[in-house]
Chain A
Amino acid sequence: MIDILLSLLILTGAIFTFIGSLGLARLRDFYTRLHGPTKATTLGVGCLLIASAVYFSVRDEGVSLHEVLVTLFLFITAPVSAHLLAKAALHLKVRSLTPTLKNSDDTPAHL
């Protein structure tokens, strides 16, 4: 039972990590590429860390808390670094594929 749960968590984690990096490699401009690593990869590593916590808690017959520390740290820092990266890209005027709002004439009516 624990074995199946662990396998499921590890497989989910590995697949999400893979999808995150696939997004980083394949998407077309920087602002879309930012989505892959910051969301999918964080979720993937979170799944792997939960699997590890379950594994060591069952094996050593005591709650294993190292992983919670790594998970907490990763989940706090990922949005911060994504925000700063987006800010740096806007500052450097990195090219975007979607049309951006250049002046007030382009602003949609509902805004």
Chain B
Amino acid sequence: MLSTVIPIAYALVSLAFLMSFWRLLRGPDAPDRILALDTLYVNTIALLVLLGIHLGNAIYFEAALLIAMMGFVGTIALCKYLLRGDIIE
């Protein structure tokens, strides 16, 4: 059961990844591109979690945690730049 579900989940998350990437390339405004980057890092966390279940290795969570933290900081920094024209005032 699990061995049939995991490839389907891989395919769905990869498609989600491609669609977010399309929005990153196309997005008409800067906030669209930032939102696409935000979605890309959340999708990366999903892929890493799936990889962890597939390979039965818990070490991937350290990477997922790091990506979650760094992605949040990156999104906040970019939004702050758009809002104020500066990141650290």
Contacts and interface: CB of A to CB of B under 8 A. Distances in A.
A87 B34 CA distance: 13
Contacts of A48: 9, 46, 49-50
B17 to A, nearest CB: 7
Interface of A: 3-4, 6-7, 10-11, 13-15, 17-18, 20-22, 24-25, 30, 33-34, 36-37, 41-42, 44-45, 48-49, 51-52, 55-56, 59-60, 64, 66-67, 69-70, 73-74, 77-78, 80-81, 84-85, 87-89, 91-92, 94
Interface in B53-86: 53, 56, 58, 61-62, 64-65, 68-69, 72, 75-76, 79-80, 82-83
B31 A52 contact: no
Interface of B is mostly: helix
A25 B33 CA distance: 11
Contact of B46 (A3, A4, A44, A89): A44
Interface of B: 1-2, 5-6, 8-9, 12-13, 15-17, 19-20, 22-23, 29-32, 34-36, 38-39, 42-43, 45-46, 49-50, 52-53, 56, 58, 61-62, 64-65, 68-69, 72, 75-76, 79-80, 82-83
B2 A3 contact: yes
Q: Interface majority SS on A: helix, strand, loop or mixed? A: helix
